[in-house]
């Protein structure tokens, strides 16, 4: 009887529509450290990609709980929420978990953007799961979400540093050659993020990985 009553009252339709709306909402998290001194460093490429995408889509960031979040970005029926955690890199998981739960976004619709020393400069790689690879931001996200199965977009920063200079390198600013190529890489990165929401993770991996 309750089944028929729900149908008559339209509850089933509402629930279905709400579920469909949630599947069209995405949380895109760029990892980085807050503060002007980190603004143009290699380690902050996650922030930089989100800044580029927000500007392109004419969205603005607001400082709210645990980070800077954009006003809603609409892309062909999909809703993108961009998050730059204010927790510092090593505690990023707290912000990611909070905003996933607050916006009721399924884990499959999470995309985390980070730098990667193991990839040549500007190389893009999207994966659906994996280890933290020694990256403290990913390590904390894995700890807070209790899973390694979440989408991550790695942007190559290369490993062109001498022994014992890794920290100085990742927290250093882009060199002249890298800066000259950065705008094109940011444009492609922005297209990857939108493709993730529109075409799905598998199609996006096929189109962008290694480019």
Q: Which residues are catalytic?
A: 43
Cα Rg of the chain (Å, integer): 18
Q: How many CB atoms lie within 10 A of CB 109?
A: 24
CB within 8 A of 88, min separation 6: which ones?
33, 34
Residue with tokens 């922030």: 47
176 token code pair: 């002249």
Q: What is the Cα–Cα distance from 154 to 124, expressed in whole angstroms?
A: 6
Q: What is the Cα–Cα distance from 19 to 16, expressed in whole angstroms?
A: 5
Are residues 101 and 69 in contact, defined by beta-carbon separation less than 8 angstroms? Answer: no
Q: Both ends of the chain: CA-CA distance in Å? A: 56
């Amino acid at each position: 009887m309750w089944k028929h009553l729900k149908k008559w009252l339209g509850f089933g339709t509402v629930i279905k529509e709400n579920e469909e709306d949630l599947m069209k909402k995405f949380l895109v998290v760029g990892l980085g450290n807050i503060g002007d001194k980190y603004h143009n460093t290699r380690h902050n490429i996650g922030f930089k990609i989100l800044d580029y995408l927000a500007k392109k889509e004419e969205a603005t960031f607001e400082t709210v709980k645990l980070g800077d979040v954009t006003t809603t970005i609409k892309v062909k029926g999909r809703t993108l929420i961009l998050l730059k955690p204010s927790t510092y890199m090593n505690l990023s998981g707290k912000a990611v978990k909070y905003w996933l739960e607050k916006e009721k976004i399924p884990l499959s619709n999470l995309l985390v953007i980070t730098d990667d020393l193991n990839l040549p400069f500007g190389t893009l790689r999207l994966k659906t799961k994996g280890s933290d690879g020694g990256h403290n931001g990913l390590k904390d996200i894995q700890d807070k979400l209790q899973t390694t199965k979440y989408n991550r977009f790695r942007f190559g920063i290369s490993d062109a540093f001498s022994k014992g200079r890794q920290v100085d390198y990742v927290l250093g600013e882009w060199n002249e050659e890298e800066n000259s190529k950065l705008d094109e890489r940011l444009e492609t990165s922005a297209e990857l993020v939108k493709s993730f929401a529109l075409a799905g993770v598998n199609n996006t991996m096929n189109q962008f990985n290694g480019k």
